Amino acid sequence: MFFAITVMSIVLRQLQVLILGCFMFLVSSMARKVHMNLCIGHSGKHFELRIVYKSLSRL
C-alpha cells in the first residue's frame, strides 16, 4: 500500500512538472506573437508590451 502511494506521488510530481513546462511554453509563445504584432503597432504600445514581454521572459 505504501509503495503504491509513493509511486503515485512521484507520477503526480512528474505530471506537475510536465504541465508547468507546457504552460510556460504556451505563455512564452503567446507573448512572442503579441510582441511581434505590437511591433507593427504604435510605439507607445510597443514599449508597454516590451515591458510585459520582458517580465514574462524573466519567469
Q: What percent of the chain has pLDDT over 90?
A: 10
Instruction: Report CA Rg, the chain.
Output: 18
- For residues 48 and 56, give the distance between their C-alpha atoms in angstroms, rounded to a whole number: 13
pLDDT at residue 56, as a whole number: 74
Residue-wise pLDDT for 35-51, tens only, equals 666 655 555 555 666 76
pLDDT at residue 45, as a whole number: 57
Phi, psi (degrees; rounded to nearest 5) at 38: -80, -20
Residue-wise pLDDT for 11-42, tens only, equals 999 999 888 888 888 888 887 777 666 655 55
pLDDT at residue 26, as a whole number: 87
